[in-house]
Amino acid sequence: MSRDQLLTAPDTALPTLRGAVAGLPSYVPGRRSAGTDIAALASNESHFEPLPAATAAVAAAAGTMNRYPDSAAVELRERIARHLGVTAGEVAVGPGSVGVLQQIITGLCDAGDEVIFAWRSFEAYPILVELAGARPVRIPLDDAEGHDLEAMAAAVNDRTRVILLCTPNNPTGVPISHERIEAFLQAVPSSVLVVIDEAYVEYADAGSGPDSLALYRRYPNVCILRTFSKAYGLAGLRVGYAVAAPAIAEGLRRTALPFSVSALAQKAAIASLDAGGEMEARISLLKEECARMAAELEAQGWRLQPSQGNFLWIRADAELLATLVDAFNGVGIMVRAYQGDGVRITVADPASNNRVLRLLAAHAA
Ligand SMILES: *Cc1c(COP(=O)(O)O)cnc(C)c1O
């Protein structure tokens, strides 16, 4: 039979995807343009190039690509442990913190188990939960764009295995205070893993969010999730980590795909941690830009919640969202639009930020 005959023959059923997979949204690639004045403000990446020490470490390790990396990432885990004042046994690394989060969910959830998170929050959450055959439980944000922890605690039941807290929250930028998370931890059974996703923690004002390490020491069901993708500027290398009780961290290391964090990523992450002071200077610049934009937008008449991340959030009804998306597309500024909710704009270099300010001035209320 020819290939065409085979494909149309009535008794040849093609392999089918699991229902959970068939229901997932397709990846929509970002618009590519030949123009040079595209502003990439849709993914919250750092606009700064990687730290010179990280680039040098990658270049120096490039000749080792014929070898597998250290699958246990011992040196990196020890360096992270020293950075945070924990032991390497409490650290698990993965290909981005999304990779680690997938290990967390598949490591803890059986089919039908429940994972609670705020909505709207990070768009990867429902995808990873559904892929694992678990059930996503979305709890709407409160009126101030923050987590409704009372409603989240009330949603816990026998099937709840994991709760995801995102602080500052992507995409709204609103942090969760230390006191509120502590009260939440007292209300939630210690058998439920409470993941504190701190992808943007480096940008947050001291004291605006939780002292997550203190919470972790006090409540062993806390798991801290961090990444090198944002402030450290290594989004393209894929490396993130979790800090968790030794038995959990060990379980995460066991669920990892072998060799999923490359040697280049491990070296770059170590070099970036070693170069701490240099990153602080970049973060200060970025935070100044965030503050400048927030003040100008306020003066234009926009009413925004203060963001503790490297991004701004504009809540928008369908009509305003369509208008803004058209306007941003028209001038080559890529931003993230969330149907029914609003638009998230990464804060970057002053020239790009000024383009955003000029555009939004024309649409202010
Ligand atoms: C960007 C982001 C991450 C990080 O993803 P990586 O896989 O580490 O690149 C994790 N959590 C949230 C909320 C994010 O916005």
User: Model confidence over 94-140: pLDDT tens digits?
Assistant: 999 999 999 999 999 999 999 999 999 999 999 999 999 999 999 99
Helix ranges, the chain (H)? 3-8, 19-22, 52-61, 74-84, 96-108, 124-131, 149-154, 178-187, 212-218, 246-255, 263-274, 276-300, 318-330, 350-361
- Per-residue pLDDT reduced to its tens digit, 38-68: 999 999 999 999 999 999 999 999 999 999 9
* Inter-helix orientation angle 124-131/96-108, to 10°: 40
Does the beta carbon of 115 lie inside 6 Å of ligand 1?
A: no
Nearest to 306 by CA among 206, 174, 170, 148: 174
Residue nearest to atom 6 of ligand 1 (CA): 96
Residue whose CB lies within 8 A of the most ligand 1 atoms, among 45, 166, 196, 227, for a mutation test: 227
Pairing of strands 39-40, 333-334: parallel
- The CA 12 to ligand 1 mean position distance, Å, reads 42
- Per-residue pLDDT reduced to its tens digit, 210-268: 999 999 999 999 999 999 999 999 999 999 999 999 999 999 999 999 999 999 999 99
Residue 264: phi, psi to the nearest 5?
A: -65, -40
CATH code, residues 30-48+276-362: 3.90.1150.10
Q: Which atom of ligand 1 lies at the shortest distance from residue 99's CA?
A: 7
Nearest to 73 by CA among 314, 264, 235: 264
Is 3.40.640.10 the CATH classification of the domain at 52-274?
Answer: yes
Q: Which band of pLDDT confidence, cut at 50, 70 and 90, is reported for residue 85?
A: very high
Its pTM stands at: 0.95
**Most distant CA pair in the chain, distance:** 70
Residue whose CB lies within 8 A of the most ligand 1 atoms, among 122, 196, 212, for a mutation test: 122
- The CA 96 to ligand 1 mean position distance, Å, reads 7
- The CA 229 to ligand 1 mean position distance, Å, reads 7
Residue 37: per-residue pLDDT: 84
Residue 46: per-residue pLDDT: 96
> CA triplet 107, 214, 183: central angle to 5 degrees?
80
In the chain, domain spans: 30-48+276-362, 52-274
Q: Which band of pLDDT confidence, cut at 50, 70 and 90, is reported for residue 36?
A: low
Residue 294 pLDDT > 90: yes
Cβ neighbour number for residue 211 with a 10 Å cutoff: 14
Residue nearest to atom 10 of ligand 1 (CA): 199
Residue whose CB lies within 8 A of the most ligand 1 atoms, among 105, 167, 197, for a mutation test: 197
Q: Do 30-48+276-362 and 52-274 show the same overall fold?
A: no
